Chains A and B, each alone.
Chain A
Amino acid sequence: MNPQTHVRYEAALKVTGQARYEGEVMPPGMLHAALVESPVACGEVLSVDAARAETVPGFATIVTRADSESLRPSGATALIREKAIHFHGQPVALVAASTGSQAREAARAVHVATRVQPAVTHLDQAAGAAFAPAAVGRFPAASRRGDPSRALSEAELIVRNRYTTDVNNHHPMEPHAVVCWWEDHRAVVHTSTQAVFATRASIAHAFDMPAGDIRVLSRFLGGGFGCKGQLWWPWMFWAMLASRKAGRPVRLELSRAQMFTLVGRRQATTQDLSLGFVDGRLTAIEHDVVAQTSTHADFSDSTAVYTRLLYACPNVSTAHKLVRTNEPHPVPMRAPGTAPGTFALESAMDEAAGQLGIDPLELRMRNFAAHDQESGRPWSSNRLLECYRVGAERFGWARRHERAKSKVGRWTVGFGMATTLYPAIRQACKARVRLSLDGSLVVQCGTQDMGSGTYTALGQIAADALGIPMAKVTVELGDTWLPDGPFSGGSQVTASIFPAVEAATSKLRAMLANLAVGDPGAPLGGRRPQEIEFRDEMVRGRSSNVAERLVDLLARGPADGLAAEGECAATDHQALAATGMGYGAIFVEIGVDAELGEIRVRRVCGTFAAGRILNPLLARSQFIGGLIGGIGMALHEQTVTDRATGCILGKSFTDYLIPVHADMPEFDIAMIEEDDPHLPGGVKGIGMLGTAGIQAGIANALHDAIGRRVRHLPIRIEDCLASAY
């Protein structure tokens, strides 16, 4: 299959408003729900008094901890079953009423009595109680190879610094929503989730009911970025309990302000990193991470994991620790681990290059890891060196040496570069294809499309395999009535669906081929099935121009057309013979007006090696989207907490800044094709690659421009400001 630039499958539906998001489902008799939030960050709920709320016109029902006792205890129900208040804004009740404003008015009228306890509202406050998590994602929390402390003591150059990154929030355009109702003992749950099957399993466990009695739908998602997962479940359960109590459908939609507290965050990190060099080669790395987690659960990003394998180095130790604070619980967010981790590592490499007097690009090429030194396995494929070379060429990196503090208007220009990487992973997936007598194709899979192009990819893979134009393909996603599909996250959906759809379409091709050759009177009758190929809605003989129209062929088959299912298993990382990673080189040009402290990104060149690219048009869009998210993390995004109360401040887009159009640089995206023999279909994920690396690239470019090294994110006016004229 050749790369195709199919436009987005659902583009017209979205721009004409016909794509129905789950929060827009409006069953008759539906109630609207609102959450009552805790006014304190730590303590216990003593009582919830709804007397005044019940007098609000339209009031229907209230759900509190008492109602949650019917749910089975688990991590997903702890927050709504227990008295403890873990963070400011934690919901303590849900109120349902006839309209949204009535529900909010009733929620404001609920009186909550609390016992307040002192809250820990900053990482530093509890740094002494840091502990090692059981694991960081699917990786061990700590690692060691060789003897890094000895190697550091023998190094010619040591670069030892602390890097910090602040809390970020995900903020998809579409906030979390659920519209749910009960049909006798069955539950119908329309909700914005990145994982319909995991959501169904969570409901089945909490409500102690068979999964078969639950239907979860998430057909269109206005973004997820990692937050449309488990942290949403407790509040969704409460909406379901309210629906059961009231005997009517219930709708709950989070406000933008609640998106700052209820659905996760990127944890703040403090990273101590030491690099040791001998003769320009890395001889030692120590990377120790301390990060925030909540008081009710453990979560650690894999921040230092990629430090284990990005560069060739015989002596490496990494460690992750967590500190509990009375703040919202963190979850994976856009390039989890790699974004904060590469900020530290790739900033430190730039600092080392400066001290060694070596070009930062040259230093990276010199320390390229020819295989995965942590596991000892070869790379499944790795064209990072090609990314460096092509990116440098396209960007004009060599001009870096010609420019001496060049200025464009008021802007002092700086160049920076950094590496990005993300593991290639795959989940179990099933897919079904059905060809109707009129030659139209339906492709079904229970995964969902976060807006990243899954509809298009799924349809395109099936259409190309069967020689059918996209216009005749219908893709059905985001429904637990469809075949089991993977959750959307970790940049692995395309890699997971690809083999499943290929398996389904090859079965269909075999059926069609047998049909084509089976009738001696048909044009291809009597040929061998292996000779049949599929193009332009025809079946053809490979070595002749004899052909038959697909619809004619189908007319001879079963009356309801032909269907087939395919499936693939999840990656068994232990059994892999090679390590699969996607790579990229990010080159950045910034302008800084140091007298006013303003910094703007002027130009970004991202060169990526991520296996086979199925659809360059969509891939380019994914890479640019990732880079923009990375610019946000580098220069704008910061979730600010009032330390006195634990309350998050400025819970709106007025105060939580993200890049706007006027901030957009010129983007140059290049994709280095890889022929990866180890991964099914040769497909690696691409979504996360653009989001990491650029943070260090920007910090390195700032240093290049004005000689100032900023080791924390976000980088703001006060960081770039010359103290005075």
Chain B
Amino acid sequence: MSGPSFRYIRAARLDDALSQGARQGATYLAGGADLLPLWKAGLAAPTEVIDISRLPLSQVSYAGDALAVGALARLSDVSAHPVVKRHHPMIAEAILASASGQVRNLATIGGNLLQRTRCTYFRTDGLACNKRDPGSGCGARRGESRHAALFGGSVGCVATHASDLAVALAALDAEISCRGLTGERRLALQDLYPLPGATTAPDTSLADGEMITAVHIDGAARFAAQSTYLKVRDRASFEFAVVSVAAALRIERGVIAEARLAAGGVAPLPWRLGRSEAALIGRAPTGEAFALAGELAVEGATPLAGNAFKVPLLHNAVIRALQTVGEGS
């Protein structure tokens, strides 16, 4: 089974790739875990495929509590990396909750962050989808909305972001480095993902040809002992999250000094639960505090017909994740 034909170019150097990737109709190929299915289904029809998988961007380095992961590092390698397991176990947990062993051997960190939404209207050619076909509308809003967003959606798009890794990274204030023809920039992971508009819903804020080169987590190893990634799904493995929660606490003298909470499966991007975090600070890690965090987590949710259950589910998942994390204290 194959899709439309294209020109295949294996990039020899990063600079070559950037100029090739900026051309109209070009797309980068790393692990291909998302691109290949899209191409086979006729949903991606690049004229040029720039294979960047051999570029030297797969290093994992750690110095002075600054973790840097090359964008081409494989999910399986990162989840098994001793530094990641020791200092950022939540990242390893999120990766191991993703996809299957085979897919994790193939998929890259950068590709995982750039995977396109699982919204079935996006994935079905011919149906209304502003993300695939700007201006065509959103079939999911009035249609099958079980997987739709609770937060951050618009009249034009209610798709959710599917990455588990991004949720854990967002909780740890990760940043990404990007390279384009005009140079390098560094931005917060969440700024990679724009909110949808009324008739358009771009996936990322990357410019044409711009490429993620690395992911950075600075000074977050202090959460290693009290963090978790909770993924809720209909079957035990190999399914995207219905709802997920990344939670981390730092407890000082019996009081929560810092809290990090992010949710997956509920928004077009990994959704930081800022109000819940703020409410936890200065409180003892008790059921009462966790219940408050759960309540605040779902404030402002705008459920549709098919996803209303995700409101209590997110509420409960936040509490469960905090209980799991708080148990150590």
Contacts and interface: CB of A to CB of B under 8 A. Distances in A.
Nearest to B123: A650
Given A662-B237, A717-B313, A725 B5 contact: no
Contacts of A649: 120-121, 124, 127, 143-144
27 contacts: A100-B1, A595-B320, A596-B232, A597-B232, A597-B313, A636-B235, A640-B120, A640-B144, A642-B144, A645-B139, A649-B120, A649-B121, A650-B120, A654-B118, A655-B118, A657-B234, A660-B235, A660-B236, A660-B237, A660-B238, A662-B237, A717-B232, A717-B233, A721-B313, A724-B312, A724-B316, A725-B291
Contacts of A640: 120, 144
Interface string A144-167: 000000000000000000000000
Contacts, number: 110
A367 interface: no
B19 to A, nearest CB: 28
A255 B139 CA distance: 24
Contact of A717 (B124, B143, B242, B315): B242
B84 interface: no
B5 A101 contact: yes
Contacts of B127: 642, 645, 647, 649
A104 B232 contact: no
Nearest to B287: A725
A655 B120 contact: yes
Interface residues of A, number: 41
Contacts of A725: 291, 294, 315-316, 319
A716 B317 contact: no
Contacts of A8: none
A35 to B, nearest CB: 13
Contacts of B1: 100, 255
Contacts of B126: 39, 645, 647
Contacts of B143: 642-644, 649
A723 B313 CA distance: 8
B288 to A, nearest CB: 12
Given A39-B126, A643-B143, A659 B313 contact: no
Interface string B218-238: 000000000000001111111
Interface of A: 39, 100-101, 104-105, 108, 255, 257, 595-598, 600, 635-636, 640, 642-645, 647, 649-652, 654-655, 657, 659-663, 716-718, 721-725
Nearest to A644: B143
A168 to B, nearest CB: 15
A232 to B, nearest CB: 18
Interface of B: 1-5, 37, 41-42, 118, 120-121, 123-124, 126-127, 139, 142-144, 232-240, 242, 291, 294, 309, 312-313, 315-317, 319-320
A657 to B, nearest CB: 6
Given A595-B320, A596-B320, A104 B2 contact: yes
B316 A105 contact: no
A647 B124 contact: yes
A101, A595, A643 — most chain B CB neighbours (10 Å):
A595
Given A644-B143, A650-B120, 19 more contacts: A105-B4, A105-B5, A108-B42, A596-B313, A596-B316, A642-B124, A642-B144, A643-B143, A645-B139, A649-B120, A649-B121, A649-B143, A651-B124, A654-B240, A661-B237, A717-B309, A724-B312, A724-B315, A725-B316
Contact of B317 (A100, A596, A660): A596
Nearest to A655: B120
